[in-house]
Chains A and B, each alone.
Chain A
Amino acid sequence: MISRQTASIRKSAAFLGEKTFRLAMVMCLVCAMSFVLVQNSPVDPVRAYIGADANQIGTEQRTLIAERWGLDRPPAERFIRWAGQIVRGNLGTSMIFNEPVASVIGKRFIVSLGLMAAAWVLSGILGFALGIISGVWHRRAVSKIIDLYCFVLASAPVFWIAIILLVFFSVMLQWTPVSGSTPPGIPAGEITLAQRLHHMLLPCASLSVISIAGVALHTKKKTVEIMQSDYILYARARGESAFGIVLRHVLRNSLLPAISLHFSSLNEIFGGSVLVEQVFGYPGLGKATVDAGIRGDVPLLLGITIFTTIFIFFGNAAADYLYTVIDPRMRHMEKINEY
């Protein structure tokens, strides 16, 4: 006989073990593939390093730099040397920021994190609410309007929506700033929270737009299914009001799949932030990614790739874990096995 506590510890250990193994596998694959991609891309690290002085530097000097960096070695050897440094936690130095890659990612991620978290929470709440409304009043006018809205949003590219918002609110109405995360020309210490939020407003709105449609349509489908279920019929037979039915039965039953879905949509927000930050000139991780790509900053590009992989992996793992915590059926599974 094992006690319930040990059983639950064992279960958690198994969960962690499996996830760690998976993360290792994913990291190996992502590293290898991005290395191959960069290897075959037109990016030439030496030229990117020299930059504007390209004309003043001769071929011999270039070969010298390449040799010093080990670029004349076979790709496999270079990969192993690079991977060895990555494992030791050395992501290299960013050429365009002249700073260690890890510190660039850290600074930029903080800026992006606020934006992404706000967009993620906002889109989750709005999407879920719209989905419930559309599902409960299925086939009514309100449901059709929400559906249309979701389909339009789901099919519109995020950068296009960002530009439309920018033109309308920043250029025409001049309600919001055109660019940046802080007002220009003010020392960092004097920037107020209100100013930061003001700058975050439009990027956040554009970014949440992507996930709203997904959560809303998914929740709607689930809600329609629930509304047609036998247990809703029974609730009505018991004299439960329409409001009581939504509150007591619909919300709970559709919340579980919505939460799980929303965690796995973290990657969409992450991907979207690259485009949105570019449009709004928002100095976050997304903008750093674009800059690194355009200006051939290979260490930064690879560093961001690795960081993104880990971030999204944890998002998905959190979704898996939460499902076992918040769904009472999962919790009760242990009890069943005891009987």
Chain B
Amino acid sequence: MLHIKNLSLSFSRYGGMSFRKVPLKIISDFNIAVHTGEMVAVIGSSGAGKSLLAHAILGILPSNAKLTGDIEFKGSRLTESRKKRIRGNEIALVPQSVAFLDPLESVKKNIQRAAFLNTGSTAKAGIMMNDAFDKYGLADNVGGLLPFQLSGGMARRVLIAAATVSGADLIIADEPTTGLDRNAIDDSLRVLKELTSEGKGVLLITHDIRAALKYADSIAVFYGGTTLEIAAPEDFKHPEKLRHPYTKDLYSSLPENGFVPVAGLNPFGDMIPAGCVYGERCSRKNELCETSRPDRKRINNGDVWCHHA
């Protein structure tokens, strides 16, 4: 349904010692595919630019952003004007937090508006809203509540309900687990997972590896603004099946797998090297890694971007 090929995103800003605008690269050569009925998780550290990926797909980036590469949605190119047309009814966003809700708009009005933007009919929107209230266990009195009165888990259900009444086929969930306890995390991810059985595609953007492994059908590892590996969740059960040195290091850094740290920091912006983005911290680095970006290799039904794989 969604195919992203070699997506790059940079911002022009005033920086360094010059008075001219210089580009700041956030995402480079990013690749991913989301198919119908599939939940794909993009995992990466906080602040790495994952949310901007969602904004890029929806066409809501700030005006100083420059986007290159190909995004294909339902078989045809997703241009900026098409994004503008289909966002909110073919692609929907489940935002990060309650801060994305208008503080003066009640839950009911909010969901009804999302349904109205989809159907263009007040009557249909009302029916869809009532269905969504039933489906997501929102009591009637919740409808009159304002965003500041919602708990984290409740807010998440409201945001997901708003995304589903929009009738979208692709749902982009941006960090839907932040600030929630274990039960609420399971609750909100289960709801998203159910959407895949209705034939929708879900792009899950998260830093919560455990949650991603539990629910996603495919895991894309995001590091230094690009994809390093796309693996099945099962691969994480057997570290020898993982393809990229970073994914392996990530695996061993989990508390249950030895808690082994890797020296260095995630590169961001100007610090991203020209060669392999993991080069500086990788134990297998050689000259080739420093000079050229690896191309995609397909191994065991997974993708990897590494010279050594």
Which residues of A are interface residues toward B (Cβ below 8 A)? 229-231, 233-240, 248-249, 252-253, 328-329, 332, 335-336
Sample 24 A-B pairs with CB under 8 A, ordered by A number: A231-B99, A233-B55, A233-B100, A234-B100, A236-B58, A237-B60, A238-B87, A238-B162, A238-B166, A239-B86, A239-B87, A239-B89, A240-B113, A248-B102, A248-B105, A249-B102, A249-B105, A252-B102, A252-B104, A253-B104, A328-B106, A332-B145, A332-B149, A335-B149
A233's partner among B60, B84, B103, B145 (CB-CB below 8 A) is: B60
Q: Nearest residue in A to B100 (C-beta to C-beta)?
A: A234
User: B residues within 8 A CB of A329?
Assistant: 103-104, 146, 148
Distance in angstroms between the alpha carbons of A296 and B96 in the assembled complex: 68
Q: Which of B81-111 contact A (CB under 8 A)?
A: 84, 86-89, 92-93, 95-97, 99-106
- 3 A-B pairs with least C-beta separation: A239-B88, A234-B100, A238-B88
User: A residues within 8 A CB of B113?
Assistant: 238, 240, 248
User: A residues within 8 A CB of B114?
Assistant: 238
Which of the listed residues A230, A231, A253 has the most CB atoms from chain B within 10 Å of its own CB? Answer: A231
Query: Is the Cβ of B95 less than 8 Å from the Cβ of A230?
Result: yes
* Residue B184 lies at the interface, judged by CB distance under 8 Å to chain A: no
Which residues of B are interface residues toward A (Cβ below 8 A)? 55, 58, 60, 84, 86-89, 92-93, 95-97, 99-106, 113-114, 117, 145-146, 148-149, 162, 166
Known: A231-B99, A332-B145. 9 other contacts (CB 8 A): A229-B99, A230-B100, A231-B102, A231-B103, A234-B95, A237-B93, A248-B105, A329-B148, A335-B149
User: A residues within 8 A CB of B97?
Assistant: 230
Distance in angstroms between the alpha carbons of A298 and B80 in the assembled complex: 72
Q: Nearest residue in B to A250 (C-beta to C-beta)?
A: B102
A147 to nearest B CB, angstroms?
A: 20
A252 to nearest B CB, angstroms?
A: 5
With A234-B95, A240-B117 as contacts: A328 and B104 at CB distance below 8 Å: yes
User: B residues within 8 A CB of A229?
Assistant: 99
With A240-B117, A332-B146, A332-B149 as contacts: A234 and B101 at CB distance below 8 Å: yes
With A230-B99, A231-B100, A329-B103 as contacts: A237 and B146 at CB distance below 8 Å: no
Q: Nearest residue in A to B93 (C-beta to C-beta)?
A: A237
Q: Nearest residue in B to A249 (C-beta to C-beta)?
A: B102
With A233-B60, A332-B146, A332-B149 as contacts: A238 and B92 at CB distance below 8 Å: yes
Which of the listed residues A233, A238, A249, A253 has the most CB atoms from chain B within 10 Å of its own CB? Answer: A238
User: B residues within 8 A CB of A230?
Assistant: 95-97, 99-100
Distance in angstroms between the alpha carbons of A332 and B96 in the assembled complex: 24
User: A residues within 8 A CB of B99?
Assistant: 229-231
User: A residues within 8 A CB of B60?
Assistant: 233, 236-237
A96 to nearest B CB, angstroms?
A: 52
Query: Is the Cβ of B101 less than 8 Å from the Cβ of A336?
Result: no
User: B residues within 8 A CB of A336?
Assistant: 149
A330 to nearest B CB, angstroms?
A: 11
